[in-house]
Amino acid sequence: MRLLLRVLAPLFGLLVAVAGLALVVETVTAWVAPSSSPLVVPWPAWRTAVEGLTWQSGSVRVAAVVVGVIGLFVLLIALLARRHDVFLADPVPEVTVTTSPRSLARAVGHEVRSHDDVVSASVVASSSKITVKAATLDPAEGVRAAVRDRVEQMLVRLPLARRPRVAVSVTTTKGVK
């Protein structure tokens, strides 16, 4: 989503800059030579077309709906593209400390993989939840409790401002032990 916003923002800015430049050029042309035809934008023809429109006209309502939908689309993209930081306890009131969900997942994953009975693990983290999926050669239930305790102990050591929920699932894989 952030990639889409990074592409749309410069395009929208370029569109506004071109429209502003056209407005300046047309305004200066109208001041300097009021009797000459428009330089870039055919605004006299547009003005005569728009003079007959009212707020009840179908084309005005369609244009309003289209502009509203585009605005809501851009707003939705901007809201979804925000950073999803994990806040840590502030050392002093003037300092805010954050980490990325990826860094938190990497730290938890390293801790889970260091367990002797875990063969492989994947971790997904956010500020509200950490999901651990691990594989083991031993019975899954015993390893699940050990992995969950290990993750909980690690979260106690981290200075997280808000403690995320932990979900652990362990599957038993077949292999030579």
Task: Check which CATH number belongs to the domain holding 106 and give it.
Answer: 3.30.300.30
Backbone angles phi, psi at 97, to 5 degrees: -115, 130
91 located within any domain: no
Tell me the C-alpha distance between 111 and 30, whole Å. 71
Last residue of a domain, one of 51, 80, 109: 80
Is the pTM higher than 0.85? The answer reads no
Output the pLDDT for position 1.
63
In a domain, 34, yes or no: yes
Alpha helices in the chain (DSSP H): 2-32, 43-51, 58-80, 101-113, 140-157
26 with 75, same domain: the answer is yes
As a whole-number percent, the residues of the chain with pLDDT over 70 amount to 97
- Is there a single domain that holds both residue 144 and residue 113? yes
Q: Is the pLDDT of residue 61 over 70?
A: yes
CB 134 within 8 A of CB 109: no
107 pLDDT tier (thresholds 50, 70, 90): very high
pLDDT of 79: 82
Decide if 89 is inside a domain: no
Q: Which pLDDT belongs to residue 133?
A: 95
**Per-residue pLDDT for 5 more than 80?**
no
Residues 117 and 76 in one domain: no
Q: Which domain holds residue 163?
A: 97-172
Domain annotation covers residue 85: no
Mark whether 24 and 76 lie in a shared domain. Answer: yes
Answer yes or no: is pLDDT of 177 > 70: no
- The answer to whether position 115 is within a domain reads yes
In percent, the amount of the chain with pLDDT more than 90 equals: 41
Question: Mean per-residue pLDDT for 66-71?
Answer: 95
Number of domains in the chain: 2
Do residues 25 and 76 both lie within one domain?
A: yes
